[in-house]
A and B are shown apart, each in its own frame.
Chain A
């Protein structure tokens, strides 16, 4: 421990550290220890669940498509190819954008803050990518849906068209609303980290 020569500071140090000098520090209570173990387990399971669910959803979508589509029909073949391309783009982007943005709790404050800023920027990049992916998805569904509806032996009713285009409007609207909320939240977070970074950078970091 570093012992200061300044008596005033030494006095302050003693006062500061005095609150825990009564008894030798007790080991962490068992209950707290159990809670920590539970949290660690839960966190691990959650990460696995997230990764598995992403793959499971993609696999589920593909299985469903293969089950309902008649691949001899050109419109259905188009649907399958389009879905594979969209899923591949989404997966590629998602993995690329998440690389290197873990929370390294044991890094120095400066590195931690820099990585937190990078994490926010990646989130914003995701938000910017969302309309493009959504645009691609909506265009694809619009083309495929219209094609499929028009290929039916019996002309679809007006209600069917309204249902189809209603979905096409509602689906991106919900996603875009979420994107706006997420962007605002991330911008607020980024502003806080950048403010702190400016404070840390006052005397040029090591």
Chain B
């Protein structure tokens, strides 16, 4: 039983770990505290796993935990959620040559910065959509209907576009 749980836990982290790290990055700008948040998410995932009854997919389950942890973490470490992020990001794509990486890195930074500027509810829906969750899955994570997701997503995308334009003109 414990072994099954561990295997399942490992699999969830293998499959969704990078996405969970990105969620942590949306809630915590400071790299060291971001690592703390990621560990909090892992801890909560491990604690919640024995009660996971397949009512939702593993992905939805993992994202729920990550967002809920992000919310509480953000308020404990006040200000860090919306803090400016000028530091170089730590997760680079090693397949790209330095020039492409620079370009790709800049795009990523712009996008992440723009996402961070969104109001919390818009940020959540945008992040989940950028992670490739369907509207039904986003609804499951946030506890709202698919229609609500659609409405929020339309509004959030508009806000993201504006934020990206602002970010683009600043650089």
**Chain A interface (Cβ < 8 Å from any Cβ of B):** 1-4, 9, 12-13, 15-23, 25, 27-28, 32, 35-36, 39-40, 43, 104-113, 116, 189, 192, 196, 199-200, 202-206
Say yes or no for B68: interface residue by CB 8 A criterion: yes
Q: A18's contact among B45, B93, B160, by CB below 8 Å, is which?
A: B93
Given contacts A16-B22, A16-B130, A111-B143, contact A204 B13 (CB under 8 A): no
- Interface contact A32-B52, CB-CB below 8 Å: no
Task: List A contacts of B91 (CB < 8 A).
Answer: 19-20
Kindly state the separation between the CA atoms of A151 and B120 in the bound complex, as whole angstroms.
66
Q: How far is the CB of B29 from chain A (nearest CB, A)?
A: 15
- Interface contact B130-A17, CB-CB below 8 Å: yes
Residues of chain B in range 131-156 having any CB-CB distance to chain A below 8 Å: 131-135, 137, 139-145, 147-148, 151-152
Say yes or no for B33: interface residue by CB 8 A criterion: no
Task: List A contacts of B160 (CB < 8 A).
Answer: 12
- Interface contact A109-B119, CB-CB below 8 Å: no
Q: A20-B91, A22-B95, A203-B144 are in contact. List 13 more A-B contacts (CB 8 A).
A: A9-B157, A15-B111, A16-B22, A18-B93, A20-B19, A106-B61, A108-B140, A108-B141, A109-B71, A109-B143, A196-B120, A202-B121, A206-B139
Interface size on B, residues (CB 8 A): 64
Closest to A189 in B: B75
Closest 9 CB pairs of A and B: A108-B143, A110-B143, A20-B18, A1-B132, A2-B134, A203-B148, A19-B91, A16-B130, A22-B94
Task: List A contacts of B61 (CB < 8 A).
Answer: 106
Closest to B110 in A: A15
Task: List B contacts of A36 (CB < 8 A).
Answer: 39, 42-43, 46
- Interface contact A18-B104, CB-CB below 8 Å: yes
Task: List A contacts of B142 (CB < 8 A).
Answer: 108-110, 200
Q: How far is the CB of A45 from chain B (nearest CB, A)?
A: 14
Task: List A contacts of B137 (CB < 8 A).
Answer: 2
Q: How far is the CB of A195 from chain B (nearest CB, A)?
A: 9
Q: How far is the CB of B44 from chain A (nearest CB, A)?
A: 4
Say yes or no for B116: interface residue by CB 8 A criterion: no
Given contacts A20-B22, A105-B69, A200-B121, contact A40 B130 (CB under 8 A): no
Task: List B contacts of A113 (CB < 8 A).
Answer: 71
Q: How far is the CB of B130 from chain A (nearest CB, A)?
A: 4
Task: List B contacts of A23 (CB < 8 A).
Answer: 94
